[in-house]
């Protein structure tokens, strides 16, 4: 298998992180999720806990406005840039699976990148959140919708693209077929992508 990176964007509760971890294990390649927080903290010189607390916040404005004004970038944008740089650096070193953090956008110029979006019906995600994530919330459905809204807002703000839009990905996968089946399907897709005639 030639060098390849897999980016996984996912609806909250779809099991995307579990699928990505199992996929990386089966392929014998590196897996990055929250590890990118530590890397971004080192890159930006910020405290790791602080980076974790702000990494998915956004504020009005944008990168270009701050550059043109000649001012210093806001902290959340510094963190985004540090994470994006880390993602590109890790992808150049070898095959990886990246969870979230706009990795598909960070690697948008790489031909050897598979961009995946994982979604599932709400009832399936409610079960995952309760059984796998053990979130102690009163209204699980509202909690899931809020998490999705935050992810969409973060992605849309930094990429100027629409989160979950099929055209941004090589594959959109409904994980309600089951976590093991989703992993097998993705593994086969990666094999075809890396070994097939493209």
Residue holding tokens 């960070």? 106
CB atoms within 10 A of CB 67: 11
CB atoms within 10 A of CB 179: 17
For residue 57, what pLDDT is reported? 59
d(CA 93, CA 111): 15
Phi, psi of 135 (to 5 degrees): -75, 125
For residue 194, what pLDDT is reported? 85
Assigned CATH topology for domain 5-184: Rossmann fold (3.40.50)
Q: Burial, 196: exposed, middle or buried (Cβ in 10 Å; 0-12, 13-18, 19+)?
A: exposed
Sheet containing 113-119, strands listed edge to edge, beginning at the edge strand earlier in sequence = 30-32, 96-99, 5-10, 113-119, 171-174
pLDDT digits (tens, 9 = 90+) for 118-169: 999 999 999 999 888 777 788 999 999 999 999 999 999 999 999 999 999 9
For residue 68, what pLDDT is reported? 36
For residue 58, what pLDDT is reported? 52
**Which residue ranges of the chain lie beneath pLDDT 50?**
59-70, 197
């Amino acid at each position: 298998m030639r060098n390849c990176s897999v980016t996984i964007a996912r609806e909250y509760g779809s099991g995307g992180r579990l699928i990505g971890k199992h996929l990386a294990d089966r392929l014998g390649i590196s897996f990055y999720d929250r590890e990118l927080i530590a890397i971004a903290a080192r890159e930006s010189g910020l405290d790791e806990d602080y980076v974790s607390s702000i990494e998915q916040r956004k504020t009005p404005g944008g990168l270009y406005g701050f550059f043109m004004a000649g001012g210093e970038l806001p902290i959340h944008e510094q963190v985004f840039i540090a994470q994006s740089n880390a993602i590109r650096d890790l992808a150049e070193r070898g095959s990886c699976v990246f969870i979230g953090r706009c990795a598909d956008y960070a690697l948008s110029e790489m031909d050897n990148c598979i961009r995946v979006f994982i979604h599932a019906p709400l009832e399936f995600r409610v079960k995952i959140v309760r059984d796998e994530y053990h979130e102690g919330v009163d209204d699980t459905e509202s909690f899931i919708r809020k998490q999705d809204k935050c992810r969409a807002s973060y992605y849309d703000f930094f990429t100027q693209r629409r989160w979950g839009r099929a055209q941004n990905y090589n594959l959109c996968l409904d994980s309600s077929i089951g976590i093991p089946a989703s992993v097998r399907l993705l593994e086969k897709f990666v094999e075809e992508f890396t070994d097939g005639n493209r």
